[in-house]
Structure 1
Amino acid sequence: MALIPTLSNRPRVLVVGGGYVGLYTAFNLQKKIAKSGGIVTLVDPLPYMTYQPFLPEVAGGNIEARHAVVSYRRHLKETELIQGSVTSIDHGNRTAVIAPADGGDNFELTYHDVVVAAGAITRTFPIKGLAETGIGLKTIEEAVALRNQVLSLIEEASTETDPAKRKRALTFVVVGGGFAGIETIAELEDMARDAVKLNHRVDQSELRFVLVEAMGRIMPEVTESQALWVVEHLRSRGVEVLLNTSLDNAENKNIKLINLPDKSVAQEFDAETLIWTAGVMANPMVRSTDFPIEPRGRVSVNVNLQVSGEFGVIENAWAAGDVAAVPDVTGGLPDGTCVPNAQHALRQSKRLAKNLWASRFNKPLKGYKHKNLGAVAGFGQWKGVAKIMGIQLKGAPAWLAHRGYHGLAMPTMERKIRVLTDWFVTMITGRDLAQLENLQAPRSTFVSAATPKPKPAAAAPAEPAKAAEPAKAESKEKAAASK
Structure 2
Amino acid sequence: MPKILIVGGGYAGFYTALKLEKWLRTGEAEVTIVDPLPYMTYQPFLPEVAAGSIEPRHAVVSHRRHLRNTEILTARVTKIDHANKTATITPVVGDEWEFEYDIVVVTAGSVSRTFPIPGVADLAIGMKNIEEAMAVRDRVLTNFDKAADLPSGPERDRLLTFTVVGGGFAGIEIFGELRSLASELIRYYPTISFEDTRFHLIEAMDRIMPEVSLKTSHWVLRNLAERGAEVHLETQLTSAVGGKVEMSDGGSFESDLIIWTAGVMANPVLRDTDLPLEERGRLRVGADLRVLNDDGVVPDAWGAGDVSAVPDLSGGGVGGYCVPNAQHAVRQGKLMAKNVVGVLRGDAPAEYFHKNQGAVAGIGLYHGVYQSRGRLAIKGLVAWFMHRGYHGLAVPMWERKIRVFGNWIFNFLLHRDIVSLEARIAPRASFEEFAARPKG
TM bucket normalised to smaller: over 0.9
Q: Which residue of 1 aligns with 2:268?
A: 284
Q: CA deviation at 1:31?
A: 5.0
Q: How far does the alpha carbon of each residue in 1:226-272 deviate from its partner, in whole angstroms, 9 at most, with x for none?
A: 0011011101111011000011011111111113xxxxx2x111111
Matched, 1:127 2:117: yes
**Partner residue of 1:186 out of 176, 200, 219:** 176
Q: Which residue of 2 aligns with 1:255?
A: 245
**Partner residue of 1:340 out of 307, 324, 329:** 324
Distance 2:81 2:339 in 1: 22
Matched, 1:13 2:4: yes
Q: Which residue of 1 aligns with 2:17?
A: 26
- Are the aligned partners of 1:302 and 1:326 in contact in 2 as well (CA < 8 Å)? yes
- Are the aligned partners of 2:139 and 2:422 in contact in 1 as well (CA < 8 Å)? no
Counterpart AA for 1:45: P
Counterpart AA for 2:256: E
Counterpart AA for 1:122: S
- Are the aligned partners of 1:212 and 1:247 in contact in 2 as well (CA < 8 Å)? yes
Q: Which residue of 1 aligns with 2:335?
A: 351
Name the SS of the counterpart of 2:336 in structure 1.
helix
Q: Which residue of 2 aligns with 1:296?
A: 280
Q: How far does the alpha carbon of each residue in 1:337-393 deviate from its partner, in whole angstroms, 9 at most, with x for none?
A: 111110011111111110110001211221110001111100122111111353311
Q: How far does the alpha carbon of each residue in 1:50-93 deviate from its partner, in whole angstroms, 9 at most, with x for none?
A: 00000000000000000000000000010000011101111111
Q: Which residue of 2 aligns with 1:400?
A: 385
Counterpart AA for 2:298: I
- Are the aligned partners of 1:178 and 1:219 in contact in 2 as well (CA < 8 Å)? yes
Q: How far does the alpha carbon of each residue in 1:417-441 deviate from its partner, in whole angstroms, 9 at most, with x for none?
A: 0001101111111122111131111
Calculate the aligned-residue CA RMSD, in Å.
Answer: 1.5
Q: Which residue of 2 aligns with 1:479?
A: none
Matched, 1:42 2:26: no
Q: How far does the alpha carbon of each residue in 1:131-150 deviate from its partner, in whole angstroms, 9 at most, with x for none?
A: 11111111101101100100
Q: How does 1:95-244 map to 2 (within 5 A)?
A: 95-102=86-93, 104-161=94-151, 163-244=153-234
Counterpart AA for 1:63: I
Distance 1:188 1:66 in 2: 19
**Partner residue of 1:272 out of 253, 256, 260:** 256
Q: Which residue of 1 aligns with 2:315?
A: 331
Q: Which residue of 1 aligns with 2:367?
A: 383
Q: How far does the alpha carbon of each residue in 1:376-419 deviate from its partner, in whole angstroms, 9 at most, with x for none?
A: 10012211111135331100111011011101110001100000
Q: How far does the alpha carbon of each residue in 1:6-52 deviate from its partner, in whole angstroms, 9 at most, with x for none?
A: xxxx5310000011111010011135446134310000000100000
Q: Which residue of 2 aligns with 1:439?
A: 424
- TM superposition score normalised by structure 2: 0.97
Distance 2:195 2:439 in 1: 47
Q: CA deviation at 1:286?
A: 1.1
Q: CA deviation at 1:101?
A: 2.5
Counterpart AA for 1:443: R
- Are the aligned partners of 1:17 and 1:119 in contact in 2 as well (CA < 8 Å)? yes
- Are the aligned partners of 2:135 and 2:422 in contact in 1 as well (CA < 8 Å)? no
Q: Which residue of 2 aligns with 1:312?
A: 296
Q: CA deviation at 1:318?
A: 0.4
Q: CA deviation at 1:334?
A: 3.7
Matched, 1:428 2:413: yes
Name the SS of the counterpart of 1:380 in structure 2.
coil
Distance 1:339 1:90 in 2: 27
Structure exhibiting the larger radius of gyration computed from Cα positions: 1
Distance 1:410 1:388 in 2: 21
Q: 1:198 to 1:153 in 2, by over 3 A?
A: same
- Are the aligned partners of 2:162 and 2:198 in contact in 1 as well (CA < 8 Å)? yes
Name the SS of the counterpart of 2:322 in structure 1.
coil
Name the SS of the counterpart of 1:92 in structure 2.
coil
Name the SS of the counterpart of 2:236 in structure 1.
strand
Distance 1:333 1:362 in 2: 31
- Are the aligned partners of 2:33 and 2:73 in contact in 1 as well (CA < 8 Å)? yes
Distance 1:83 1:437 in 2: 26
- Are the aligned partners of 1:21 and 1:117 in contact in 2 as well (CA < 8 Å)? yes
Q: How far does the alpha carbon of each residue in 1:306-336 deviate from its partner, in whole angstroms, 9 at most, with x for none?
A: 0012110001100000011111111133421
Name the SS of the counterpart of 1:232 in structure 2.
helix
Q: Which residue of 1 aligns with 2:401?
A: 416
For these two proteins, the number of residue pairs brought into alignment is 439
Name the SS of the counterpart of 2:314 in structure 1.
coil
Which 4+ stretches in 1 moved above 2 angstroms? 30-34, 388-391, 451-455
Q: Percent identity?
A: 50
- Are the aligned partners of 1:174 and 1:275 in contact in 2 as well (CA < 8 Å)? yes
Q: 1:453 to 1:445 in 2, by over 3 A?
A: farther
Distance 2:430 2:217 in 1: 48
- Are the aligned partners of 1:255 and 1:270 in contact in 2 as well (CA < 8 Å)? yes
Name the SS of the counterpart of 1:200 in structure 2.
coil
Distance 1:382 1:268 in 2: 31
Q: Which residue of 2 aligns with 1:464?
A: none
Distance 2:209 2:439 in 1: 59
Q: 1:33 to 1:109 in 2, by over 3 A?
A: farther
Counterpart AA for 2:284: S
- Are the aligned partners of 1:33 and 1:39 in contact in 2 as well (CA < 8 Å)? no
- Using the TM superposition, name which of 245-254 and 30-39 deviates more: 30-39
Distance 2:439 2:165 in 1: 48
Q: 1:33 to 1:95 in 2, by over 3 A?
A: farther
Q: 1:165 to 1:306 in 2, by over 3 A?
A: same
**Partner residue of 1:367 out of 344, 348, 351:** 351
Distance 2:192 2:305 in 1: 44
